[in-house]
Structure 1
Amino acid sequence: MHPTRSRVTRRALIVGGGAVVAAVAVAEAVDLRWLPGRSTMYRTLGLDGEPGHIPDVTPVPTTSGSFVSRARGGRTVGWTIAAPQSDRPLPIAVALHGYGGSHRTFFGNGLGYERFLAQHVARGGAPFAVAGVDGGNRYWHRRADGDDPGAMVLDEFVPMLEQRGFDTGRLAFTGNSMGGYGALRFGGLLGPRKVRAVAALSPALWTSAGETARGAFDDAEDFRANTVIGRQHELDGVAVRIDVGTGDGFEPAVRTYVDGFTTTPAGGFEPGAHDNAFWRRMAPQQIAFLARHLHA
């Protein structure tokens, strides 16, 4: 605007628009990672998008139980399976929980996958089962104390699912946060001969050992041995989907990870935090992705 036509005085700009300008400046600084507290700022400014909701439908049947895991040093491990009625063996997705979660994380009032799955099937989607299992807070790999939730999943739980009549020849992994990391790790370890798809929700990733949360890895050597960053090629031939919110503290590392693929994974980055509201919003797309590739 030409200066002679402006009716906004310098004082009015400072007093009247100062708060708006400051808010925009702070938001941009946080977005560019100049300031800490990105997740909090996004939530405060209402930038996380609409929350997802568990559908109000009759859920598919669930079954729960437990077993004693040799890989986890004799710990009793709980599990839950949600499976639509079927006359044929169903393909199955193993759902790995995040830090502080359990085999129930993907079900009930948590993420409600037994209801999302029922909705998916009712709308004509291909059926499959979802199975959750307890991994503790050990980031789904062998730890220095001998606890190995990774071996528990691959050597004990998956064979148990096969014994229960599921088609583990059509296997997928999914997970949220710590479990998203675990799903990507297992998909890379087993490769396309054994895994059809991986669908990760807000995977807990770091680009260096010095950035990791306390307890995620034993030390820098453990991080280097088990990080998925730099190992994207191990997922060649596996269908991969990764969804993360732009208000998620893990978003920068996940973006680095996604950029390391030769073929960009499905999913992407959209408004959301590191919480159930975002994970429930993404659940229908994640389930449709898994169904499509489990039946490919």
Structure 2
Amino acid sequence: MLERYELEAFLTLAEELHFGRTAERLHVTTSRVSQTIRKLERHIGAPLFERNSRTVTLTPLGKQLRDELRPAYDQISASVTAASRGNSVKRAITVGFSAPWCGNLIVQATDLFRIRYPDTVVDIEEIQLADPLGRMRSGAVDLQLTEFPIAEPDITTGAIMFSEPRALMVPEGHPFAARESVSMEDLADATLITLADELIPRYWMDYYFPRRTPSGRPIPQGPATNFWPEVLVHVSQSVGVSTVSLRAERFHSRPGVVFVPFRDAPTIDYGLMWPSAGRNPLVQPFLDTIADAAVSE
């Protein structure tokens, strides 16, 4: 029989795939995590992780165990949390968003949801672009409105809620700043500020921060940032340029930064996603509600 700490250690390591970060989250030493996982593997009689000096990956058995244990663990944790609040009757859902305009729609949907389902608790959380999937995979977020494409085996994607034209954010004195529009080919003549991609799928990075133009010309890569405000600072200081939703100008306009529309870039599509396993039963009602809120927006 699994002890609670073994379960927590296994599921946390299955999410982080890094002993150091797992130890930090559990507030224990790395050696304690290693000992716990080894004990669990001896108990099961088979390895759950493949590890070497650089990487940690789940074995097929480890993936199966993670997928089977995570829903039950999340349900137990949610029940304990509700009981600790002295309000075990209320059901809860946490909804994430990755851009202010996504957040506006989530807030509208939440207001409507609370009217329709007054016995529920809705928490709203901003998701950092440098880690677009981490909060969902940890079980902290049940539903998320985010930039597509998303193509992950453990995540289900739903409808695209809206699409936005793309723009290039450039310093005020940049040659592109005086243009009415720019082309994807123009990126070869600029330095592109990007995001740190350790936690971002490569296909997502290629869609938003390409390394080559459509004709194959290399795009100079600038600093890789961890947070959106860093991108704004780098652009305003003439370090480089960055791709962005054209709507961002209404939210992030500042001195020294100009937003120039693309004339040939694909749109930025914002869609909904949720965990494939152990879906919160409130996800479907919220999906219905956000669809109604989007129509009335």
Q: TM-score, structure 2 length as denominator? A: 0.23
Whichever structure has more strand as a proportion of its residues is 2
